[in-house]
Amino acid sequence: MKKLFAFVLAVMMVMSMLAGCGASESAPAADAPVAEAGAIKLGMCGPLTGGAAVYGTAVQAGMEIAVEEINAKGGLQFALNCQDDEHDTEKAANAYNTLKDWGMQIMAGPVTTAPSNVVAGECANDQIFMLTPSASGASVIEYGDNIFQICFTDPNQGTASADYMATHDLGTTIGVIYDSSDVYSSGIFDKFMTQAEANGLNVACEASFTGDNKSDLTTQVTQCKEAGCDVVFLPFYATEAAQVLTYADKIGYKPVFFGCDGMDGILTVEGFDPALAEGLMLLTPFSADAEDEATKSFVAKFQEKTGIVPNQFAADAYDVIYALAQACENAGVTADMSATDINAKLIEQFTSMTFDGLTGAGMTWAATGEVSKTPMAVVIENGVYVGVE
């Protein structure tokens, strides 16, 4: 009896599978935002839920603002579809396929590196142009000629940090704390160590943690203190950095703390006293306190939309849309072109054009897909970023 019931269920499953396919064929865009006729379809996927959601939602909001602005101008029209990938490689593949069913012509994502490695493989395979706002892993752009980044690669940040420390007199003994289970953090760490050795820097302490035990970083800070480090390099994200700074303050340890672009957002970490971040240095392409018109207008719109100050991820996302708009206009891309045709035109544009955005002026791209822009070192003074040369 039970087996028979199971059999009936199985038949129903097959039927529902069929029904599912049928439905998704007849209305492939049922769940997608309504695209205006003549709009170029941009797909984005990122962690909109889960542990990394802060980056995904920032990118989504940044892109939405840019698309609204561009569409309001008339002329070139964009339609944006954002799918959740939960910062997971498997879900990213599913999100990508969902976007493809929607009719995506350009991929303006993903947000984080691990999912990007999967999506980049698919984009290279399907010849869909991909420009990621914030997936900084060096491996992402290796998948094909049509994969481009608008952020620095991790190795570049590691090298730039070591160079900065060598040329500026920050301290004599360097300590590094990094997340060995994280692609971003260990990517920067590896290159930093190589370059530090080349520059003859004295790295006295290397302390690591993993994603599973990052709730308590006191041991690592104590290690650095005991090794007598007067500069501590923190190549990881703001939430963990907040812990390090809080604990260092508690034990009265006051070295120069130095971070990368993941440190951006430290001033808005929940439950963290921004006063502790005084004197913190970081390399970032974007500062929300910059005085130029474009940044001011973007920050105002972002605050109105989300209620928080935009971080570097949001600014990169905003730049992605404008860079794509510029390339599409120059190349005369229209909505009725196939993704493959658009891909060929955009590769040509991106390898030849110069783009000015919020995260840097005069950006150019190499044929590998790597962006060339200068990292900006800032120091936190009185709760705001102040540029140092």
Q: Is 114 in the site for other proteins (CB under 8 A)?
A: yes
User: Which segment (96-104, 228-236, 239-247, 326-334) binds other proteins by CB under 8 A?
Assistant: 96-104
Least distance CB 121 / other proteins (angstroms): 3
Structure tokens at 95: 């999100």
Q: Is 5 in the site for other proteins (CB under 8 A)?
A: yes
Q: Is 24 in the site for other proteins (CB under 8 A)?
A: yes
Q: Is 306 in the site for other proteins (CB under 8 A)?
A: no
User: Positive or negative CA dihedral for 270, 274, 278, 284?
Assistant: positive
Partner residues linked to 129 by β-bridges? 106
Q: Which one of 68, 121, 173, 330 is in contact with other proteins (CB under 8 A)? A: 121
SS3 assignment, position 190:
helix
Nearby residues of 264 by Cβ (< 8 Å), 6 or more positions away: 238, 282, 284, 286, 311, 312, 313
Q: Is 101 in the site for other proteins (CB under 8 A)?
A: yes
Q: Is 34 in the site for other proteins (CB under 8 A)?
A: no
R_g of the chain computed on alpha carbons: 23
Query: Can you count the helices (H) and strands (E) in the chain?
Result: 11, 15
Q: Is 28 in the site for other proteins (CB under 8 A)?
A: yes
**Residue among 169 and 212 whose Cβ is closer to other proteins:** 212
With vertex at residue 227, the alpha carbon angle to CA 225 and CA 232, rounded to the nearest 5 degrees, is: 60
Partner residues linked to 131 by β-bridges? 148
Structure tokens at 138: 């060096």
Q: Is 88 in the site for other proteins (CB under 8 A)?
A: yes
**One-character DSSP codes across 199-229:** TT-EEEEEEEE-GGGTT--HHHHHHHHHTT-
Least distance CB 67 / other proteins (angstroms): 18
Q: Which one of 71, 139, 218, 368 is in contact with other proteins (CB under 8 A)? A: 139
Partner residues linked to 284 by β-bridges? 376
Q: Is 142 in the site for other proteins (CB under 8 A)?
A: yes
Length of the chain: 389
User: Which segment (97-105, 159-167, 231-239, 298-306) binds other proteins by CB under 8 A?
Assistant: 97-105
- d(C-alpha 170, C-alpha 148), whole Å: 34
**Residue among 53 and 294 whose Cβ is closer to other proteins:** 53
Q: Is 7 in the site for other proteins (CB under 8 A)?
A: yes
User: Which segment (115-123, 231-239, 317-325, 342-350) binds other proteins by CB under 8 A?
Assistant: 115-123
Structure tokens at 330: 């120059």
Crossing angle of helices 53-72/312-331, nearest 10°?
A: 40
Q: Is 190 in the site for other proteins (CB under 8 A)?
A: yes
Q: What residues from 57 to 86 belong to the interface with other proteins (CB under 8 A)? A: 83-84
Contact flags string 209-248 toward other proteins, x per CB under 8 A: -xxx------------------------------------
Q: Which one of 8, 198, 251, 388 is in contact with other proteins (CB under 8 A)? A: 8
Least distance CB 8 / other proteins (angstroms): 8
H or E element that contains 354: none
Q: Is 366 in the site for other proteins (CB under 8 A)?
A: no
Least distance CB 43 / other proteins (angstroms): 12
**Residue among 113 and 146 whose Cβ is closer to other proteins:** 113
Q: Is 122 in the site for other proteins (CB under 8 A)?
A: yes
The neighbour count for residue 238, using CB atoms within 10 Å, is: 22
**Residue among 76 and 120 whose Cβ is closer to other proteins:** 120
**One-character DSSP codes across 264-292:** TTGGG-TT--GGGGTT-EEEES--TT--S
Give the CA distances from residue 157 to residues 154, 164, 217, 270, 283, in Å, rounded to whole numbers and listed in that order.
Answer: 5, 10, 23, 26, 8
Kindly list the residues in this chain that would bind other proteins in the complex (CB under 8 A).
1-11, 13-14, 17-18, 20-21, 24-25, 28, 30-31, 48-49, 83-84, 88-90, 93-94, 96-98, 100-101, 113-114, 117-118, 120-122, 137, 139, 142-143, 180-183, 186-187, 190, 210-212
